Structure 1
């Protein structure tokens, strides 16, 4: 049983990493024979891995086709951002009690780099710094299951390469200002409900930017 579980995990890791890294693209069919040969297993562990990825909405089954990589349509994209707003808001609030003075200074550095990148309109770098900014906040969050769920949702968005700063450049200056507000609230560390609400609204503003440009 343990060996079977290991093979399933290996197959899961192989398929998932290729989805996240963009090796497998939306609509591409998963060839079970090929994966089984690669991981040195029978079809059963591969099918179990695919079922798990299906439950995580990375894969879907289509009649007469089989398992294919699932794309993210507009509705699913909006739903994912909405859920992320809830989870990220809570994670930011939980991080507050564990945030250090050095942590606050690091967040200021990230946001300053974003401001400097904005002058050259380097949206790709701004997107990377934005992810680093929020991930750094979450590094202080004690709830690892919560962080795992956030990461899964972010990786699902990454499979279609929908960078919020690439698609909504007009929002970038406002987003950086909202970071300043979050830094101030985290440094004060007094009102966790306000921190959660502010972080949640920060993500919802990205959702609204997407809706406005439809």
Structure 2
């Protein structure tokens, strides 16, 4: 099929429309507008985005393939609910692969890239002070995206991007951080940036990023447990662990430790 074939152009247009709906739904999952278990109306989404039903359904099928939504037999579509065991598996995979990706990318990052990452980290700190978890979550996506954007392995980038989207969706719905945890993660971000700027070996950068990602698993798992069990954030166990999450009634806040 040549580029002059109108069918090719029509396919490209539909692909763009599908991407538009995909981005719209993804953004609303990540910012917390669509929470786990929420029903998604295909017709309403088509109307919201100005796209017909076919590319809207294609976008939702793509999100389904990435584990973010699920089609229920004769019951429509809803935002997927990720179990804690599956969440841990995703995070463990992210830790290994992102360590590899950032280790490969480190020599390619420019001073401007590192400055931009520092600015994002500063915005995340400001979000903590405001108690704005959604802004913090968006900043985390941007920070990690900067560090792996130049990864020469495109397949590795694609896997990480899909996994990161699922992690962000769950965090937006059920997980938050107390100030102490957010402060620790911010300090680890700066350490990674400092070592990249100093020209540290790829193996060291890989180890730092992997440890950083693995260090969030316990905090996220505790937050996940509290949210799914409807527990408060101030019991003795939470105080000992310094890990927390918002309750389902308040998924968008950052509670100071």
Tell me if both proteins adopt one fold, taking TM over 0.5 as the criterion.
yes
How many Å apart are 1:54 and its aligned residue?
Answer: 1.8
Over 3 Å counting, the alpha-carbon distance change for 1:12 and 1:112 in structure 2 is closer
Over 3 Å counting, the alpha-carbon distance change for 1:6 and 1:181 in structure 2 is same
How many Å apart are 1:204 and its aligned residue?
Answer: 0.8
Query: What aligned pairs does 1:9-158 form with structure 2 within 5 A after superposition?
Result: 10-11=17-18, 13-22=20-29, 24-32=34-42, 39-40=51-52, 46-111=56-121, 117=126, 121-124=129-132, 126-158=136-168
Q: Distance in 1 between matches of 2:100 and 2:173?
A: 22
Instruction: Using structure 2 for the length normalisation, give the TM-score.
Output: 0.64
Question: Residue 4 of structure 2 aligns with which residue?
Answer: none
Listed as ranges, the gaps of 5+ residues in structure 1 are none
Aligned CA-pair RMSD: 3.5
How many Å apart are 1:141 and its aligned residue?
Answer: 2.8
Q: Give the total of aligned pairs.
A: 210
Instruction: Using structure 1 for the length normalisation, give the TM-score.
Output: 0.74
How many Å apart are 1:135 and its aligned residue?
Answer: 2.7
Give the SS at the match of 1:60: strand
Out of 162, 172, 196, which is 2:172 matched to?
Answer: 162
How many Å apart are 1:90 and its aligned residue?
Answer: 1.9
Worse-matched range after superposition: 12-21 or 178-187: 12-21
Q: Distance in 1 between matches of 2:124 and 2:57?
A: 43
Listed as ranges, the gaps of 5+ residues in structure 2 are 1-6, 226-257
Question: Residue 3 of structure 2 aligns with which residue?
Answer: none
